[in-house]
Amino acid sequence: MRLGWLELLVILGVVLLFFGPSRLPGLGNALGSAIRGFKRGISGHEEEPSGPEKLPAQTSSTTPQAPGSANSREG
């Protein structure tokens, strides 16, 4: 199904009547960013960080403690 010039003009006229001329540029921007995001999601190319993520280094002075260890006092 192909849309001709007449159909596109009718659709544009209905959108213009429904939303008004002041909101039309904002709708165009929102539609464009939505289409770009959709294409980016479909292609799988996401913006990844340039370098590998660095996790905080665990020092040897800190040791994990199990629950109920000597530091917890129960009545």
pLDDT along the chain (75 residues), means of 10: 89 91 90 94 68 59 62 56
What's the CA gap between 6 and 33, in Å, rounded?
26
Q: Please give the pLDDT value at position 53.
A: 59
Report residue 6 as tokens. 């007449």
Report residue 58 as tokens. 């665990």
Flag whether 55 is in a domain: no
Flag whether 38 is in a domain: yes
Q: Tell me the residue range of the domain where 31 lies.
A: 5-43
Report residue 61 as tokens. 């002075």
Overall number of domains in the chain:
1
Report residue 25 as tokens. 């540029």
Q: Please give the pLDDT value at position 5.
A: 92
Report residue 70 as tokens. 């000597």
Flag whether 60 is in a domain: no
- What predicted TM-score, i.e. pTM, was given to this entire model? 0.43
User: Amino acid letter at 75?
Assistant: G
What's the CA gap between 50 and 64, in Å, rounded?
32
